[in-house]
Structures are given as structure tokens and as C-alpha cells.
Amino acid sequence: MTTEVQKMSSVTVRVPAKVNVQLSVGPLREDGYHDLVNVFHAVSIHDEVTARQARSITVSVTGGWAAEVPLHDGNLAVRAARALAERAGFGGGAELVIHKAIPVAGGMAGGSADAAGALVACDELWGLGLPREELMEIAAELGSDVPFSLLGGTAIGTGRGERLTPLPVGGPFHWVFAIADTGLSTPEVYKECDRLRGTAPVPEPKADEELLAALRNGDAAALGRRLANDLQEAALALHPPLAGTLRSGLDAGALGAIVSGSGPTCAFLARDAAHAAELAGVLAATPGTRTALPAEGPAPGATLI
């Protein structure tokens, strides 16, 4: 078995994008982070990470978003492969190829998805066989969204978002994602959120029981009403045209509309697949929107294909 794994010359892993159906942001902590209650939902927009045998760790990117992804050491997939090699005491390398379909800097955790994909792909390519819990630990060190990209499905994250509990979901839910023609930096959106809050007291973040029930019951109409994102106001302040995008989707009958994570991608909940296709047509024609992608959730986490 081990010999067979060691002979493997190429491994491909599919990783999903996410939307935060609830993102509750607590007060700014002394360490500069915020406590969060984060209800993550993985959706069927995927990157693919392929790892091939090589002497050192390198990365290249294909697909429509390739030009926006760094190829240096800051690439999250490279950082993930390095962290895994270090943890396992492995001296070899991997040629990583990312096929990028998740928008970059869109609030859909694309970089985190690639990190999760690289962890699973290199673990398999190198025949390490690390338990999932250990991959989850490395993932949490790489970034607060990386563990969820490994896990997939729907889950509630606490702390910085990295302590995860899977949630039962009665879906599927049908979504449309309006991808803006510009990106937003996650740290800048948090900074703007703090600035807008000023000195007003900020309550501790809390899960919305009605939203959890809507997920459990597969009740898209109720979920649409409960979508909530504490970063939305800050994302709208930094990029005002997003308000028009949200309005267009609601006017076209979306059950709910929300900025995804730190934005600027906007997520719209549809009644069914046909309604999602219809909404995507309307949103694609909205000014400031680069493209509109229908997708289903929940989707599985990082998976070998």
C-alpha cells in the first residue's frame, strides 16, 4: 500500500468556495483580532489543486482569475505545502498547479481553499497519511478560514472562526454570486468596521437560532430572511455600488441578499435552480458586476478526485 502511494505522480483535489450565512463580529480584542460567530456554508464553485512530484515546492495558476494570484512565497497553497512538509519532517517538493474558479479577494475564501487543497494533495502525493485532525491543526495555523475549506458542508465557527462544529442541513440551497469588478482587502474591511463602530459598546457575537433552524429545515425562505453579516456595512462604505447590486437581486425576487464575508462578492438565495439561473441573468447585467455564478450548497470540503 505504502509503495503504491509513493509511486503516485500526480494528485488532484477539489476545494469549495464558501459564503458566510451569518457573520457576527465581536469587539476588537487586544491582540487585534475579533471574536466571531461564523456560520460557514460551502458552495459548488471550486478550485482544483494538482500536486506533482518535484524536487522543490513551486506553484502556477490557470483559469480566468490566474493573473490576480501571487506566485511567490505568499501564495497560500505554497505556504500550506511548506507547513505540511515541516510538520512531517519531509524533505521533498511538489509542483502545485491551481485551476482557479473561485474569485480572488471576493470574500469567498479562495486562497484558504487552495491552502486546504494543497494540504490534502501533498499529504497524498508524499504518502504521509496524516490524520485529518492533524491537517486541521496545520490548517488553523495557516488562516482562520482554512479549516472550514477542509471540512466543507455547513459549520459554525467560533474564536477567530477556526473552532468548527458541523451543522445539520436540510438543503440543498440554490445561490447566485455576483462577482464585483474589483476586490476588497479583508483586513481593510475589518478596520472600516471598527472605525464605523467607534466607541459604541459591541455585544459578544452570538449564533442566530432561527437561522440555524432554517438551515436544519431546508427552509430557503426563512434562511433568506435571517442572512446577516456584521461586515456588510463596512464593505458597502468602502464600495458603495454594492448597495445597488444587492437591491437588483432583491427586486428580481431573491429570497435574501448579503455581502459574502468581507465582500465585495454578493450572495443571493434563490427558490430553486431555475430561479437561480434567472437571477444570474439579471445580476450579470448589473453595473459593476463582472459575472454572476449560480451554485448549490452545501458542498463537500477538500476532496481527492
Q: How far is CA 290 from CA 103, 179, 238, 293, 305, in A?
A: 10, 6, 18, 10, 29
According to CB under 6 A, which residues from 82 to 101 bind ligand ATP? 98
Cβ atoms of 269 and 222 within 8 Å: the answer is no
- Candidates 270, 248, 171, 176; CA nearest to 217 is 171
Q: How far is the CB of 199 from ligand ATP (least distance, A)?
A: 26
Binding status of residue 77 toward ligand ATP by CB under 6 A: yes
Binding status of residue 170 toward ligand ATP by CB under 6 A: no
Rg (CA), the chain: 19
Which member of 48, 123, 145, 219 binds ligand ATP (CB under 6 A)?
145
Q: How far is the CB of 256 from ligand ATP (least distance, A)?
A: 19
Cβ atoms of 18 and 41 within 8 Å: the answer is yes
Q: Note the Cα 96 to chain centre separation in Å.
A: 20
Binding status of residue 108 toward ligand ATP by CB under 6 A: yes
Cβ atoms of 84 and 41 within 8 Å: the answer is no
Which member of 22, 24, 186, 289 binds ligand ATP (CB under 6 A)?
186
Q: Is the dihedral of CA 228, 163, 176, 214 positive or negative?
A: negative
Binding status of residue 106 toward ligand ATP by CB under 6 A: yes
Q: Which residue is nearest to ligand ATP (CB)?
A: 111
Binding status of residue 114 toward ligand ATP by CB under 6 A: yes
Active site residue 272: no
> What is the total count of residues that contact ligand ATP (CB under 6 A)?
21
Nearer to ligand ATP, 2 or 56 (CB): 56
Q: How far is the CB of 162 from ligand ATP (least distance, A)?
A: 12
Candidates 114, 123, 145, 230; catalytic one:
145
Binding status of residue 64 toward ligand ATP by CB under 6 A: no
Please report, as a single letter, which amino acid is at residue 257: A
Active site residue 73: no
Binding status of residue 110 toward ligand ATP by CB under 6 A: yes
- Strand pairing class (57-62; 228-229): unpaired
User: Cα(85)–Cα(93) distance, rounded to whole angstroms?
Assistant: 8
List the catalytic residues: 18, 145
Residues in touch with ligand ATP (CB under 6 A): 69-70, 74-77, 98, 104-112, 114, 145, 186, 261-262
